[in-house]
């Protein structure tokens, strides 16, 4: 008899999670240098970890691991190209056996036998707040599917009552770029019972980050900004020997204390610094930038049209603050 993988969410909620002593989530954040002056901006590539795929809500079912089948997985489609920095999943367990997590390649919507990387956790459970990292460098290509697969090595053979853990998820195809997959034969062949079922996960991808030269209030210094102003702040991305500002995709550009805040109200290509090459000048509404009286620098982030991540920072001096 084929046993169902599903357990009710209520059952999941009643299971007490073990203490989490796995690796802690390192919040993806910029490692780009904050350069107080333009001349100090280094034009180097640095890795940047970004959240890529994420399915964490709603929650109304979970997949039992080692109940119907020893191997349970979720496929996903990478959104950006880079190296997998880690994943997060939501497995509740009181099992004595540690959880094994693998990334496999996918063909025709189902996992293949090719294991791209794997790791055995120190615990049987793991949470979405924990980052699971792999010792292998796992390439991720935008638009390509991969699978996160778990099992409990050493646990008794899968079967009724042998469930070792529950992976939270939801019905309704809330994640359309992949599906819950299960294997009844130890991970050799796979089925996706329905596109409707998806399990909670996040993927983080490491991309090279190119530091660029920006100039808040081009030509002027110090870069005074009145946080109460209802005007605009001009910011230039400068073309240098190693970077062509005309390659920036202006729709991806954000500016503010963390570089994620304001979209540009206006942009144009012009030779801002008078050195003979075209730079890209943006105007951001001051109120959109969230710049406050305690900020002493601001950053601009974005992508080139080819997808290269960019970040630049410049100093600022708040004025009009009481
Ligand atoms: Ca799906
Ligand atoms: Ca300036
Ligand atoms: Ca120029």
Give the model's confidence band at 208: pLDDT under 50 very low, under 70 low, under 90 confident, else very high: confident
Cα 224 to averaged position of ligand 3 atoms, centre (Å)? 22
Please give the Cα distance from 155 to 133 (Å, whole number).
Answer: 23
At 16, the pLDDT band (50, 70, 90 cuts) reads: very low
The pLDDT assigned to 3 comes to 54
Q: How far is the CA of 74 from the centre of ligand 1 (A)?
A: 9
Distance 207 CA to ligand 3 centre (A): 27
**Per-residue confidence at 32, pLDDT binned at 50, 70, 90?**
very low
pLDDT for the residue 309: 86
* Mean local confidence (pLDDT), 34-63: 69
pLDDT for 263: 96
CA 169 / ligand 1 centre spacing (Å): 10
CA atoms of 158 and 124, how far apart (whole Å): 16
CA pair distance 148, 249, nearest whole angstrom: 32
- Please tell me the pTM assigned to this model: 0.64
Q: Which domains does the chain have, with CATH numbers?
A: 6-25+50-206 (2.60.120), 212-318 (2.60.40)
Tens of pLDDT, residue by residue over 176-205, are 999 999 999 999 999 998 889 999 999 999
- Cα 136 to middle of ligand 1, angstroms: 27
Confidence check: pLDDT of 133 > 90: yes
Instruction: Output the CA–CA distances (angstroms, integers) from residue 226 to 220, 265, 291, 295, 317, in the order listed.
Output: 15, 18, 9, 11, 8
CA distance 244 to 233: 22
Residues with CB under 5 A from ligand 3 (ion): 271, 273, 275, 277, 279
Nearest in space to 104 (alpha carbons), one of 76, 135, 68: 76
Tens-place pLDDT, residues 264-314: 999 999 999 999 999 999 999 999 999 999 999 999 999 888 778 899 999
pLDDT over threshold 90, residue 159 = yes
How far is the centre of ligand 2, averaged over its atoms, from the C-alpha of 251 (Å)? 23
């Amino acid at each position: 008899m084929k046993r169902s993988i599903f357990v009710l969410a209520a059952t999941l909620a009643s299971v007490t999670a073990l203490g989490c002593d796995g690796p802690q989530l390192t919040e993806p954040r910029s490692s780009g240098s904050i350069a107080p002056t333009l001349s100090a901006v280094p034009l180097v590539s640095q890795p940047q970890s970004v959240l890529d795929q994420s399915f964490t809500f709603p929650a109304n079912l979970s997949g039992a691991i080692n109940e119907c089948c020893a191997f349970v997985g979720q496929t996903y489609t990478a959104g950006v190209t880079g190296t997998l920095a880690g994943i997060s999943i939501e497995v509740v367990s009181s099992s004595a056996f540690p959880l094994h997590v693998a990334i496999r390649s996918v063909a025709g919507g189902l996992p293949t036998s090719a294991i791209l990387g794997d790791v055995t956790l120190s615990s049987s459970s793991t949470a979405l707040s924990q980052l699971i990292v792999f010792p292998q460098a796992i390439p991720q290509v935008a638009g390509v599917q991969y699978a996160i697969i778990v099992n409990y090595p050493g646990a008794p053979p899968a079967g009724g009552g042998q469930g070792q853990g529950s992976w939270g998820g939801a019905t309704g195809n809330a994640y359309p770029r992949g599906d819950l997959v299960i294997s009844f034969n130890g991970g050799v062949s796979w089925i996706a019972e329905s596109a409707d079922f998806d399990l909670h996960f996040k993927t983080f991808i490491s991309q090279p980050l190119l530091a660029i030269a920006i100039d808040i209030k081009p030509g002027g210094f110090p870069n005074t900004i009145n946080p109460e102003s209802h005007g605009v702040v001009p910011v230039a991305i400068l073309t240098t020997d190693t970077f062509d500002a005309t390659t920036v995709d202006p729709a991806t550009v954000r500016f503010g204390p963390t570089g994620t805040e304001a979209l540009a109200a206006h942009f144009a290509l012009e030779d801002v610094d008078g050195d003979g090459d075209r730079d890209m000048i943006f105007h951001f509404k001051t109120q959109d930038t969230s710049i406050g009286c305690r900020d002493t620098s601001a950053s601009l982030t974005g992508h080139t049209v080819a997808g290269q991540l960019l970040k630049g920072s410049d100093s600022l001096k708040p004025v009009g603050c009481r």
